[in-house]
Amino acid sequence: MRILGTETTCDETSAAVVEDGRKVLSNVVSSSALLQRKYRGVVPEIAAREQVKVIIPVISVALDRSDCSIDDIDALAVAYGPGLSGSLLIGVEAAKTLALVWKKPLVPVNHLIGHVYANWIGKKVPQFPLVALIVSGGHTDLILMTDHGKFRWLGGTRDDAAGEAFDKVARVLGLGYPGGPEIEKVASQSQSAKLESSKRLPRPMISEDNFDFSFAGLKTAVVNLVNRHLRGEESSHLGGGDISAIAYEFQKAICEVLVIKTLRAAKKFNAKSIVVGGGVAANDYLRSQLTDHGWKLAIPVFFPPKDLAVDNGAMIAAAAFWFEKTISPLKLQADPALHFA
């Protein structure tokens, strides 16, 4: 079965053709991130305008690259939430129209569940029950999944999402947008410039017996540290070495909390696998720490390839294959605040 999936929840416009939920025939991503750079964050209006410009060319290139004609496509899938309402509307209305014109079934997919199903693309398949950690720009959630389509939300962030914290801390450190890859790059230059223990950042809620997170205080701790430097209360001004050391300590703090809480959930629910999805799943420190700790507990940890960790149409097409639930196109509405179904 070949599914054409589209994803337009934020500043990416993506379309992909995926066969049997596993084999990516094409995956085209156009991003307005470069246009957003000067604002150091996503401006929803700019994101939506770019979506309008590129949605049809992106879908058309995805079909071309897959070597499929529309007759070879069995169904369309679309991310209908959560996300920015202007961006979502463009993808959802485009998919509804194409489903009607091409007379194809339409499968609505929760964007976050798409991030989970990015882990089914490829050779090895995760086993149930599993614990899924979703870490994106707008979400940080832990989910127990007992079968395809059977989700139980265990907990999530009470304030900033993990990716949002990366983006905000990058801004405070004078780095570019998106902040996650920038922090990761700068942190990797900090081999010799570790922070003194007095400047160690907090690991919020790490010891609490729940599956919730809170990253706003961690971000404030970075802001306070930077301000102390700027006010001259620290011995040196904020140089490149300090920025690397802060970036390294921030990345370590946030990843430690994510790893410990995910492993605790996996142990509690006897998970046979751990899967991770969302843009922060592209972070190498998180990838290596969770994989190593999972290995010690004999729980395999799955991460999508980096290009399928960030928003993409392939994960939406994959989710639609495993968790198929069609809808009449005229009934589908974008849902910016969609939670787990």
Please identify which residue in 81, 114, 163, 313 interacts with ligand KG4, judged by CB under 6 A: 163
The tokens for 175 are: 């780095």
Q: Are strands 150-156 and 2-7 parallel, antiparallel or unpaired?
A: unpaired
Question: Are the C-beta atoms of 137 and 10 separated by less than 8 Å?
Answer: yes
Neighbouring CB atoms inside 10 A of 64's CB total 13
> HSE of 4 in the Cβ direction (CA atoms, 13 Å)?
31
Query: Cβ closer to ligand KG4: 163 or 329?
Result: 163
Give least dist CB 312 to Zn ion, A. 9
Torsion, Cα 141 283 279 222, to 10 degrees, reads 70
3-state secondary structure string, 66-121?
HCCCHHHCCEEEEEEECCCHHHHHHHHHHHHHHHHHHCCCEEEEEHHHHHHHHHHC
Residue 280 within binding range of ligand KG4, rule CB under 6 A: yes
Binding to ligand KG4 by CB under 6 A, coded x per residue (else -) over 137-156, reads xx------------------
**Piece in contact with ligand KG4 (CB under 6 A), picked from 16-24, 175-183, 236-244, 325-333:** 175-183
**Piece in contact with ligand KG4 (CB under 6 A), picked from 212-220, 237-245, 279-287, 330-338:** 279-287
Amino acid occupying residue 55: I
State how far the Cα of 12 lies from the Cα of 28, in Å rounded to an integer.
10
Binding to ligand KG4 by CB under 6 A, coded x per residue (else -) over 295-334, reads ---------------xx-----------------------
Give least dist CB 115 to Zn ion, A. 6
State how far the Cα of 90 lies from the Cα of 15, in Å rounded to an integer.
13
Residue 184 within binding range of ligand KG4, rule CB under 6 A: yes
Query: Cβ closer to Zn ion: 178 or 329?
Result: 178
Please identify which residue in 79, 144, 311, 338 interacts with Zn ion, judged by CB under 5 A: 311
Residue 81 within binding range of ligand KG4, rule CB under 6 A: no
Instruction: Note the residues at the interface with ligand KG4 (CB under 6 A).
Output: 10, 136-138, 163, 166-167, 178-181, 184, 278-280, 282-283, 310-311
